[in-house]
């Protein structure tokens, strides 16, 4: 059976998704969306929140408005999305280096020591801030986030751009992902992919956390 190290030996670059892989800011998103939903008179629960995993901010807002049965103008949608993001960023500002997910720092150190090229491939527009707050930003050679791509996963744009910016062929890159849309995007890009968590289809390997990579 293939191990994570076996897969790493075949590549020169590693591309990480952010949320659910290196850090867990999902709870911050949940709190901010719940606050907005409350203003709309809608009881937003973790059941609805699961359906927003890997979904862009505006697409998430559209879902919430539909669930709440609320119709607003485009300008109001933009204002709502910006308000939600301000609430989210207020929570992110309090993040510390000890809030990274288990195994993240150890793996990043190991990759650097072994001369791998490292990129971020995330839909988050707040990725640089999160990486800075958690002390991880110096490990990354390339950052590709929601500010630098126009097409969301499962489209492979984010990973193809990361490979290009790393100056590597897609087949020389391995992706770490926790969402099905991200796994599908990595596959569409022609890359190997290690899934974090269960119930993911199309991965080369699934593990519970980054702690399992080096052990």
Q: Considering 19, 145, 178, 204, which one is annotated as catalytic?
A: 19
Q: Is 184 a catalytic residue?
A: no
Buried-exposed string 151-182: b where 16+ CB fall within 10 A, e elsewhere: ebbbbbbbbbbbbebbebebebbbbbbbbbbb
* CA 95, 101, 103, 108 torsion-angle sign: negative
Catalytic one among 17, 145, 184, 204?
A: 17
Residues contacting 111, CB < 8 A, separation 6+? 14, 118, 139
Is residue 19 part of the annotated active site? The answer reads yes
Whether 64 contacts 80, CB under 8 Å: no
- Give me the active site residues, please: 17, 19
């Amino acid at each position: 059976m293939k191990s994570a190290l076996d897969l790493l030996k075949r590549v020169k670059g590693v591309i990480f998704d952010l949320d659910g892989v290196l850090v867990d800011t999902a709870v911050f998103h949940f709190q901010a969306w719940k606050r907005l939903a409350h203003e709309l008179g809608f009881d937003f629960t973790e059941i609805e929140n699961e359906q927003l995993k890997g979904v862009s901010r505006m697409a998430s807002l559209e879902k919430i408005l539909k669930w709440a049965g609320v119709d607003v103008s485009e300008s109001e949608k933009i204002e709502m999305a910006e308000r939600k993001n301000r609430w989210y960023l207020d929570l992110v500002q309090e993040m510390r280096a000890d809030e990274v997910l288990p195994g993240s720092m150890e793996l990043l150190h190991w990759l650097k020591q072994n001369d791998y090229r490292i990129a971020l491939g995330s839909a988050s527009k707040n990725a640089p801030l999160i990486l800075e707050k958690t002390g991880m930003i110096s490990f990354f050679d390339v950052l590709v986030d929601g500010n630098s791509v126009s097409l969301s996963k499962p489209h492979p744009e984010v990973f193809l751009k990361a490979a290009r910016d790393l100056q590597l062929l897609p087949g020389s890159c391995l992706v770490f992902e926790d969402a099905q849309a991200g796994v599908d995007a990595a596959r569409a890009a022609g890359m190997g992919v290690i899934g974090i968590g269960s119930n993911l289809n199309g991965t080369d390997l699934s593990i519970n956390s980054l702690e399992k990579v080096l052990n």
